[in-house]
Structure 1
């Protein structure tokens, strides 16, 4: 067994590609560096030259996943159109990725929150939310949305759309198309942000 097919820097890419296939087929539990080495016909020690352990491999998988997803989100955000249409495109970009790569997405989010996740992964894993926060802030500044906590609003949008995507990926929408659900969800979210965040409990609503 040799690693000659990967002498020109291709082993890392081959490991990541095969690891992606494995988690789609058998989940994270079926993934191991030793099995990857067997599958690719290289020595058991060869994967260790690129990934010190399974967590490092998952970290790299998650990084690649977020990079691919963030490209779609950025393209949607930077496309021509008003704030609301860009908001819908961002939502569709996230939902489309989530439905197409449900297992990878789960690995991306779980690995990002692991105590030993790399700083790079923690940062890139927040880029999507940063894009959403920036768009919401722009729309607030333009008077299209009511003032409010952009960070909380972006998180609410993410939770809502992520939930829709997870249900769609699991075929749990009982015939409702994911596109129609995405549109309805973004309509509701936008209307809520136009109306503004509710006052904290206990507030009288009467100005001082």
Structure 2
């Protein structure tokens, strides 16, 4: 990588960091290239030079979010051991942990029409997260979801519960029924694991 390319990559990373801060403080609707540039301490034209427009910037930020989500899931799986059920539960816990830690970024990735989902980088990293679920599902039930309709139903059931639980926790709607905020970290983990086991235990 040349010095020019290094500076280019460094500025892009700085802009994405500033964009994530703006996203968390101002929301998707109010974020602007000008505000991101100001927060990053660069010229107003820098974000447009790197990302084209606000949609390009937020697409890149969402792709970065998927990379981070995959890291959270991978880190959880590495501590779970080799047993397939333990790994698929750990992956789900990592998904929820990411969503709770970065709710605005999670909303951008999954609930917003802003990112260009045909963008190659975005598509590939989002696909890698899905492929992880495919691999975990196949390891758990012994059947490839792409070729076995029942296995794909298992995958969708597991994903739906994990994603829905993440959404309910972020919105506060799960608090009244589960009381997660009143629990210790260990109790919270035990409760969430028990919920995920209800849909993943049989591997049927």
TM-score, L = length of structure 2? 0.78
Is 2:28 the counterpart of 1:18? no
In structure 2, how many angstroms separate the alpha carbons of the residues matched to 1:30 and 1:48? 17
| DSSP-derived class of the 2:52 partner | coil
**Larger mean Cα displacement after TM superposition, 182-191 or 19-28:** 182-191
Per-residue deviation at 1:150? 2.7
**CA separation of 1:111 and 1:117: change in aligned 2, threshold 3 A:** farther
Per-residue deviation at 1:154? 1.6
**CA separation of 1:41 and 1:71: change in aligned 2, threshold 3 A:** closer
**CA separation of 1:43 and 1:115: change in aligned 2, threshold 3 A:** closer
In structure 2, the residue matched to 1:154 is 155
Question: Structure 1, unaligned stretches of length 5 or more?
Answer: 1-6, 197-208
**CA separation of 1:180 and 1:168: change in aligned 2, threshold 3 A:** farther
Question: Structure 2, unaligned stretches of length 5 or more?
Answer: 1-5, 181-187
Alignment of 1:49-198 (within 5 A): 49-79=49-79, 80-110=81-111, 117-141=118-142, 149-172=150-173, 173-174=175-176, 175-177=178-180, 178-191=188-201, 193-194=202-203, 196=204
Count residues with an aligned counterpart. Answer: 184
CA contact (8 A) 1:157 1:189 kept: yes
In structure 2, the residue matched to 1:8 is 7
Cα RMSD (Å)? 2.5
Mark the structure with the bigger radius of gyration. Answer: 1
